[in-house]
Structure 1
Amino acid sequence: MIQISASPPPPHVPACRLPGSAIAGSTIAACRRLRQRRAVRFHVALSPQRVARLHCLRAQMRLTYQWITALPFVLLAFDEDGNSKMSAAELRGCVTTALGERL
């Protein structure tokens, strides 16, 4: 059986969380020092060359993804006999069209 009291019990507040106490002040200062150490430790300086390289890598990954997703449609367009399989002649025609070279 559950008993319901008229007033809820006071919430438990640890001593280090009470404002104005010496423990709370030292805890807050310790947290600030820890945050500052982490910020210095994990700070990475990005040079303009590194930023440009990261942008190039992102662009290459985006283009690679677009090529991978478009590949089935390209192969379907060059499937001349409609059997959903690429023969050597169909693949040769696809490569010749894409690269402009004779194999």
Structure 2
Amino acid sequence: MPSWDVISCNSVAAIHAQSKGSCDAAKFLFDSMLERNVFSWNTLILAFGSSERAVEANRAFERIPHRDLITWSSIVAANAENSQMDRAEELFASMPEWDVYSYNAMLS
């Protein structure tokens, strides 16, 4: 892989994460990254969640070194969208704070 910076890698991974059927490409890119930030992890959760792979989204969430509000909302949405409502409710209750996106994630 070329020597891309974290922003370039995140941008390409986000494109894959939002494309149905491209979760594995996003995961491959994530695994190839020399540097990761919270956006990288959030993108991975989005990729798993939109590909009906909530178990893998939860595994990634557990490994994240630093979580932000987007991380929390993304993992809640990944579980809710994949009919894992007990887990989504548990995560929602554990969130340090809520915003409109958090509530929308629960409603998805």
Same fold (TM over 0.5): no
**TM-score, length of structure 1 as denominator length:** 0.21
Structure with greater Cα Rg: 1
Q: Which has the higher contact order (CA 8 A, sep 6+)?
A: 2
TM-score, structure 2 as length reference: 0.20
**Higher share in helix:** 2
